Amino acid sequence: MSPVASETSLTIIEHAPIATWFGVGGGARRLATPGTVEQVRECVELDPSLRVLGDGANLLIDDQGVPELVLDTGQLNAVRWDERAGAVCAQAGASLPALIIEAVRRGLGGVEGLAGIPASVGGAAIMNAGGAFGEFADTVSCVHAIDRDGRDVVLGRGEIDFGYRHSGLNHLIVTSVELRLTPEDPLVLRERLKETMAYKKRTQPMAADSAGCVFKNPTLHQPIESVGDTGQRVSAGLLIDRAGCRGLHVGGAEVSHRHANFIITHEHARARDVIELMDMVARRVLDAFGVTLTPEVVLWRRQR
Ligand SMILES: Cc1cc2nc3c(=O)[nH]c(=O)nc-3n(C[C@H](O)[C@H](O)[C@H](O)COP(=O)(O)OP(=O)(O)OC[C@H]3O[C@@H](n4cnc5c(N)ncnc54)[C@H](O)[C@@H]3O)c2cc1C
């Protein structure tokens, strides 16, 4: 791993590992860590097909790594608060969990239901991270980004196609997000945050290496007894469990006993193990229920 300075002050590291929450997978041939929006633009000029890395909490990277420039947003982490207006502007690499704690401390509500979701602000926007207690889109007022031609893009909430774990923003490089929060009693917010965390700890293998839910919850095209009716979005974890996949493993990857939609990785696991296990689980659910599962986890692999 050898740091080399490019012609500008942008730092690019060659043959860099990429840290993901799965703890498996290859690295980047070149990894850039821009500290300014101008440097993000320089990255786009260097490689318009670059890949963007947030906190790596929803990423599975092929064991061979990726040839494109990887832009790590970690250095773009400034957060500006306007407490009176209930507004916060956070750069893409800012930590969502840290932002949630600070919002609660300042008595600003709206994001406390996202507690326990590891993410950068940019990654949370791209994935529209969320769950039973709300989703990131609920508080977004505006997204600032750069397109693949290096142009600035500013999108108001109404211009963004947010949906379930979807933003339609994946072609852009999100540089910052403005949120609109609501003044509330910090004690009430703290209680809500604690309840959310307790729920997560009860139902998810929080201490294990994973990327959260690997599959999106599917919408049923036909009713399934004691699962749901046509048109209903149902728990992928429930289907995986009913298909007998809990505890299933390939190499160092295993379907979690605590939450069947989590694949956890053990020491010596490889990305290939996770990919094979995901294929196996999807096949069993298709065979058992005729339901096609779609990955929620983003897979980075070389174009073949
Ligand atoms: C223990 C655990 C629990 C989880 N629980 C939940 C949950 O309850 N709900 C939920 O929704 N998710 C959950 N997740 C998944 C994950 O936390 C979210 O998907 C999160 O939004 C990922 O953000 P990130 O910054 O880590 O993105 P990354 O994993 O780094 O990237 C994800 C995708 O976003 C893109 N991206 C990231 N930043 C940018 C940017 N600035 N501009 C453009 N593209 C970008 C990447 O290229 C990639 O395609 C969980 C994960 C773990 C490990």
pLDDT at 16: 98
Q: Are residues 275 and 295 in the same domain?
A: yes
CATH of the domain at 266: 3.90.78.10
Three-state secondary-structure class, residue 76: coil
Q: Assess whether the C-beta atom of 113 lies below 6 angstroms from ligand 1.
A: no
> Domain containing 275: what range?
206-300
Lowest model confidence (mean pLDDT) among 42-51, 169-178, 197-206, 212-221? 197-206
Please give the pLDDT value at position 34: 98
CA 51 to centroid of chain Cα atoms:
14
Looking at the CA of residue 120, tell me the nearest atom of ligand 1.
25
Same domain, 197 and 96: yes
Residue 69 shares a structural domain with residue 84:
no
State the total domains in the chain: 3
Q: 194 and 238 share a domain? A: no
Mean pLDDT in residue range 164-177? 98
> Looking at residue 8, what is its pLDDT?
54
Q: Which of 202, 231, 248 is the last residue of a domain?
A: 202
The answer to whether residues 129 and 184 belong to one domain is: yes
CATH number at residue 88: 3.30.465.10
Are residues 293 and 211 both part of a single domain?
A: yes
23 C-beta neighbours (distance < 10 Å), count: 17
Give the CATH number for residue 37.
Answer: 3.30.43.10
Q: What average pLDDT does the segment 213-224 reach?
A: 97
Which is nearest to 122 in space by CA: 44, 181, 185, 54?
Answer: 54
Which backbone phi and psi does 213 adopt, to 5 degrees? Answer: -70, 130
Mean of the per-residue pLDDT values of the chain? 95
Are residue 279 and residue 181 in the same domain, yes or no?
no
3-state helix, strand, coil in the chain (%, to 5): 30, 30, 45
Share of the chain above pLDDT 70, in %: 97
Q: Is the CB of 34 under 6 A from ligand 1?
A: no
User: Is 129 touching ligand 1 by the criterion CB < 6 Å?
Assistant: yes
Same domain (yes/no): 64, 103: no
Q: Which residue CA neighbors atom 50 of ligand 1 most closely? A: 212
Give the three-class secondary structure for 26: coil
Which residue from 9, 7, 43, 39 is spatially nearest to 28, judged by alpha carbons? Answer: 43
Q: What is the pLDDT of residue 235?
A: 97
Q: What is the pTM of this model?
A: 0.95
> What does residue 14 show for φ and ψ, rounded to 5 degrees?
-95, 145
The model's confidence at residue 1, banded by pLDDT at 50, 70 and 90, is very low
Ligand 1 touching residue 115 (CB < 6 A) = no
Distance of CA 62 to the CA centre of its chain: 17
The residues assigned a catalytic role are 165, 213, 296
Q: Is-contact 137 113, C-beta < 8 A?
A: no
Rounded to the nearest 5°, which phi and psi values hold at 284?
Answer: -65, -40
- Confidence check: pLDDT of 10 > 50: yes
Asked which of 35, 51, 75 is the last residue of a domain, the reply is: 75
Does residue 194 sit in the same domain as residue 216?
A: no
- Taking residues 192-217, what's their average pLDDT? 95
Report whether pLDDT(4) > 50: no
Q: What's the pLDDT score for residue 304?
A: 59
CA of 120 to the centre of ligand 1 (A): 7
pLDDT score at 303: 74
